[in-house]
Amino acid sequence: RVELSVIADADEALTRDAQERWKIGRAVPSWRDVVEADDVDIAVVGLPNQDHRAAVEALVAAGKHVLCEKPLAPTVEAARSMLDAARRAGVVHGIGFNLRRAPAIAAIRQMLVDGAIGAPRHLSGHFFTDYAVSTAVPFTWRYQRSLAGSGALGDVGSHILDLARYLLGDIAAVTGATLATFIHERPVPAAHVTGHNIGPTTGQTGKVDTDDSGAFTCRFASGAIGDIRFSRVAPGHRGPAFDLIGSEGAISFDMRRPGEFGICSAPPGRDAVGSGFRRLAADPRFPYGSDLVAPIGFDYVDTYVAQAYEFLSAVAQQRQYEPGFEDGFAIAEVCETVQRLADSG
């Protein structure tokens, strides 16, 4: 039996509202109160990037299992320290790459294992979203490299990176990278900001030094290649999509329809030339296909439900959750490499 015992946030009005809405036991002003709480076994860390390390290391030292929002940390050094701390504590640890829980993604991975499109050769993927399109979006920690580590790269690029690793394995090399900032100043908020909400400002602006968009190419340990693109200033977009080309077929996915995907595969005794794509819709045979309404009703938010279920199951069964901090560390390494290559021109 799972109980929502504590919610912590510096914004008292926010925590009180959430406490009442979701029938949470109590609201506290700081994550440090959660560390000291005897009635908390599992903690979900959704703090700004710069606070992940301190909170996670304190929580695991207190013996609590932790699911941390992505990216794991702003730097490789911090991510490594968090991974080591979780291993020493012997707790279950997880990173919030919830898109793995889309029914189509889990089904695609199994198809790759089964050789449905032969040997994977090329993944072309992007995560475009529009939350920072407006110049009125306030200057928060996301737009400061000293706090966030990166911009769209770590925020949404990490998602498509994780999907690429989940499907094709480790990335062996980043072979070219570019990052760009298009909105160079943003208004300083006059009060606490929740998410990307636009509100009163001080009349001053802050200088943005994190990326709005970027792209890089890579090579996987398997020999496959990839091109990855990401943006937080892409009007009309809200999520990832990719094309995966294999030696005997191809797969196409778009998160706007998370319960289905396109597949081109060779008929028996023939190659795939001219075969075209057919659509496969989620049904009870898909992972999570019988747990939630699918395919029409499955939405981005439902991936969080499936993620919570999987993490709670891992804790109950005393096994390590995937993706864990190892995966968060691997993504941090790639992101830092991309940042370094982009900085060097």
Q: According to the model, what pLDDT value does residue 345 have? A: 81
Residue 313's φ and ψ, nearest 5 degrees, are -65, -40
98, 127, 149 - which closes a domain = 98
* Predicted confidence (pLDDT) at residue 295 exceeds the cutoff of 80: no
| Residue 300 burial by Cβ neighbours in a 10 Å radius (0-12, 13-18, 19+) | middle
Instruction: Tell me how far apart the alpha carbons of residues 126 and 315 are, in angstroms, rounded to a whole number.
Output: 32
Per-residue confidence (pLDDT) for residue 109, from 0 to 100: 93
pLDDT number for residue 106: 86
Per the listing, tokens 């999987």 go with 310
Task: Please report whether residue 1 resides in a domain.
Answer: no
Judged against a pLDDT cut of 60, whether residue 313 lies above it is answered with yes
86 and 177 share one domain: no
Q: Are residues 167 and 139 in the same domain?
A: yes
- Convert the pLDDT of each residue in 150-163 to its tens digit: 999 999 999 999 99
Say whether both 84 and 214 belong to one domain.
no
Single pTM value for the model: 0.93
Q: Which residues pair with 265 in a beta bridge?
A: 249
Hey, how many other C-beta atoms are within 10 angstroms of the C-beta on 297? Answer: 9
Nearest of 161, 129, 105 to residue 307 by alpha carbon: 105
Summarize the confidence of residues 209-225 as an average pLDDT.
98
Name the pLDDT band for 292 (thresholds 50, 70, 90). Answer: low
How far is Cα 133 from Cα 324, in angstroms, rounded to an integer?
32
On whether residue 22 sits in a domain, the answer given is yes
pLDDT at 269: 63
Last residue of a domain, one of 34, 69, 98: 98
pLDDT value of position 161: 98
- CATH number of 276's domain: 3.30.360.10
Q: Is the same domain home to 184 and 283? A: yes
- Whether the per-residue pLDDT at 294 is higher than 60: the answer is no
Any domain includes 133: yes
Q: Count Cβ atoms within 10 A of the Cβ of residue 33 and give its class: 0-12 exposed, 13-18 middle, 19 or more buried.
A: middle
Cβ 34 vs Cβ 28: under 8 Å: yes
The answer to whether residues 154 and 296 belong to one domain is: yes
Rounded Cα distance between 252 and 60, Å, is: 39
The parent domain of residue 48 ranges over 6-98
Kind and range of the H or E run holding 120 = strand 120-129
Do 258 and 134 share a structural domain?
yes
| Judgement on whether residues 165 and 211 belong to the same structural domain of the protein | yes
- Please check whether residues 83 and 145 belong to one and the same domain: no
The C-alpha atoms of residue 320 and residue 334 are separated, in whole angstroms, by 23
How far is Cα 269 from Cα 39, in angstroms, rounded to an integer? Answer: 61
Inside any domain, residue 252: yes
> DSSP assignment of 59-81, as one string?
HHHTT-EEEEPSSS-SSHHHHHH
Task: Assess if residue 238 is contained within a domain.
Answer: yes
- Mean pLDDT over each residue of the chain, to the nearest integer: 93
Please tell me whether residues 33 and 178 are part of one structural domain.
no
Task: Report whether 272 contacts 261 (CB < 8 A).
Answer: no
321 is a domain residue? yes
Q: pLDDT tens digit string along 49-107?
A: 999 999 999 999 999 999 999 999 999 999 999 999 999 999 999 999 999 998 899 88
Q: Domain boundary residue among 98, 113, 138? A: 98
Q: Name the residue among 332, 335, 336, 337 with its Cα closest to residue 80.
A: 332
Q: Looking at residue 56, which CATH number applies to its domain? A: 3.40.50.720
Strands laid side by side in the 65-68 sheet: 42-45, 65-68, 93-95
Residues 182-197 pLDDT 10s: 999 999 999 888 888 8
Both 104 and 238 in a single domain?
A: yes
Q: Within this chain, do residues 217 and 297 fall inside the same structural domain, yes or no?
A: yes
Total structural domains in the chain?
Answer: 2
| Dist. CA 69–CA 55, nearest whole Å | 12
My answer on whether 239 and 107 are in the same domain is yes
